């Protein structure tokens, strides 16, 4: 689970500047207030009921959901804060063994909702390490951010289990310093005090035309307007220009934008996937347009970059292009989190993400727990990033420069 720790809501915080709660829920045995207990109950019951009534698999993968309620509800009701409550919800949802089943506490939901707005930032993107409770991997450090100024590097870890330190279930507010404990690559502890800084949002889509004959289209997420933007980028290319679509680290997003992207490269009304609802209804997904004003699908040679954090729509899109022989997929095997999910707002402002439909490619391949295997394997290490190298991009550009006959060989047996 990637948590972009870069946004703060406008809502006020009751904490004093510089510190979070002096004791986390794990350290605090005091019972919750009556109001807290009531909200815990409302949130837990909503999550439990939605899973029971709306999860795409009515059998819930064989999980005894009533037994899960008996186990986890008492823990949820006695949670002293959001951290303890949502830890319990994550534990219950993990029984489904579904990467799309998750619950984000209010602070994280607010940050994610304001990702494309000017806001105070720390400058870290983190991924929870389930095997190490309270520890997060630093996946990105934003240039010019407080974290970057403090020397935090990719691959380090945020440790949140100690008293008085900031953790992701808390808000980030302008001018209110936060205490962080960072473990570097030697596992040495570094205590940092960072003051969030207001920064403009990173764009969701970026076009890099710095290389002759190649345009690199970086897509942070399948957000509103992606298909039209991509059509605009393709419209003014030279006939022999190549296109690289960078979906690394992309968590997915809107299914209609995935269809719009595919419409930029595949013929209209071409089947590219089938989804199956909870009731068993099968719906064939076909390209429906949405690629701006581009007249017909692009004929440019295409490569798609993926990695282990490419998820959902960022997997089904390269899979469809790969199956159609329309693009070369380069990078690392994707996450294998490709069920069709929807979010719902919880009573406390948190967010439940739940799989509502199953999904297979047009070739009948179920990508869930499997992912997309690239045609060309290439990795981008933290050392490469810090040195300014990008082996995956270089491999994609080199492959596109090959004669079409050689590219066809690479597409002959796509491995999903």
Q: What pLDDT, in 10s, does the model give residues 88-116? A: 999 999 999 998 899 999 999 999 999 89
Indicate which CATH number applies to the domain containing 60.
2.30.42.10
Mean pLDDT throughout 114-130? 90
The pLDDT confidence band at residue 6, using thresholds 50, 70 and 90, is: very low
Query: From edge to edge, which strands make up the β-sheet containing 178-183?
Result: 2-5, 124-128, 135-141, 157-159, 178-183, 189-194
pLDDT for res 127:
86
pLDDT for res 410:
52
Say if residue 41's pLDDT is above 60.
Answer: yes
Residue 66, burial from CB neighbour count under 10 angstroms (0-12, 13-18, 19+): exposed
Between 265-279, 285-299, 355-369, the lowest mean confidence (pLDDT) is in: 285-299
Say if residue 309's pLDDT is above 60.
Answer: yes
Q: Which domain holds residue 35?
A: 2-199
Residues with Cβ within 8 Å of 346's Cβ and at least 6 positions away in sequence, in order, are 43, 46, 47, 103, 352
Distance CA 185, CA 61 (A): 39
Segment 68-80, tens digit of pLDDT: 999 999 999 999 9
Angle at 189 between CA 187 and CA 192, to 5 degrees: 135
Segment 190-225, tens digit of pLDDT: 999 999 999 999 999 999 999 999 999 999 999 999
pLDDT for res 387:
79
158 & 299 share domain: no
318 & 385 share domain: yes
The pLDDT confidence band at residue 406, using thresholds 50, 70 and 90, is: low
On whether residue 160 sits in a domain, the answer given is yes
Say if residue 185's pLDDT is above 90.
Answer: no
**Of 359, 371, 143, the residue nearest 247 (C-alpha):** 371
Q: Which residue has the higher pLDDT, 283 or 185?
A: 283
Domain closes at, from 176, 199, 222: 199
72 & 144 share domain: yes
Q: What percent of the chain stands above pLDDT 90?
A: 77
231 & 145 share domain: no
Mean pLDDT throughout 153-160? 91
Indicate which CATH number applies to the domain containing 388.
3.90.226.10
137 & 244 share domain: no
On whether residue 416 sits in a domain, the answer given is no
pTM for this model (two decimals): 0.85
pLDDT for res 13:
28
Domain closes at, from 164, 199, 234: 199
On whether residue 150 sits in a domain, the answer given is yes
Count the domains in the chain: 2
Say if residue 251's pLDDT is above 50.
Answer: yes
192 & 209 share domain: no
- Positive/negative CA dihedral, 74, 77, 81, 87: positive
């Amino acid at each position: 689970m990637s948590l972009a720790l870069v946004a703060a809501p406008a809502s006020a915080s009751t904490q004093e500047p510089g510190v979070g709660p002096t004791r986390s829920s794990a350290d605090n045995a005091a019972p919750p207030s009556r109001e807290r207990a009531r909200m815990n109950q409302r949130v837990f019951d909503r999550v439990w009921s939605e899973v029971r009534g709306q999860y795409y698999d009515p059998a819930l993968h064989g999980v005894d959901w009533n037994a899960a309620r008996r186990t986890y509800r008492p823990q949820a009701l006695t949670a002293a804060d959001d951290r303890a409550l949502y830890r319990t919800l994550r534990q219950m949802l993990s029984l489904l063994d579904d990467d799309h089943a998750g619950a984000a506490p209010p602070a994280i939901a607010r940050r994610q909702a304001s990702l494309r707005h000017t806001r105070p930032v720390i400058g870290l993107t983190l991924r929870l390490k389930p095997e190490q409770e309270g520890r997060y991997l630093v996946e990105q450090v934003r240039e010019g951010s407080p974290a970057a100024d403090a020397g935090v590097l990719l691959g380090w870890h945020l440790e949140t289990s100690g008293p008085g330190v900031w953790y992701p279930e808390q808000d980030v507010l302008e001018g209110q310093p936060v205490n962080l404990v960072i473990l570097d690559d030697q596992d040495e502890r570094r205590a940092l005090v960072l003051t969030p800084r207001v920064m403009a949002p990173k764009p969701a889509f970026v076009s890099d035309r710095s290389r002759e004959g190649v345009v690199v289209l970086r897509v942070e997420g399948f957000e509103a307007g992606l298909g039209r933007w991509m059509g605009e980028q393709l419209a003014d290319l030279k006939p022999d220009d190549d296109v690289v679509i960078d979906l690394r680290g992309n968590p997915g997003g809107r299914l209609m934008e995935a269809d719009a992207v595919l419409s930029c490269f595949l013929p209209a009304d071409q089947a590219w996937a089938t989804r199956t609802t909870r009731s068993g209804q099968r719906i064939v997904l076909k390209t429906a347009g949405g690629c701006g004003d581009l007249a017909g699908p692009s004929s440019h040679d295409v490569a798609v970059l993926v990695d282990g954090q490419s998820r959902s729509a960022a997997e089904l899109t390269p899979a469809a292009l790969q199956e159609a022989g329309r693009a070369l997929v380069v990078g690392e095997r994707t996450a294998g989190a490709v069920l069709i999910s929807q979010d719902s707002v919880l009573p406390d402002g948190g967010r439940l993400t739940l799989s509502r439909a199953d999904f297979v490619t047009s070739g009948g391949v179920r990508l869930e727990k499997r992912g997309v295997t690239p045609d060309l394997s290439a990795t981008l290490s933290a050392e490469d990033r810090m040195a300014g190298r990008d082996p995956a991009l270089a491999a994609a550009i080199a492959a596109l420069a090959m004669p079409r006959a050689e590219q066809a060989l690479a597409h002959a047996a796509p491995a999903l």
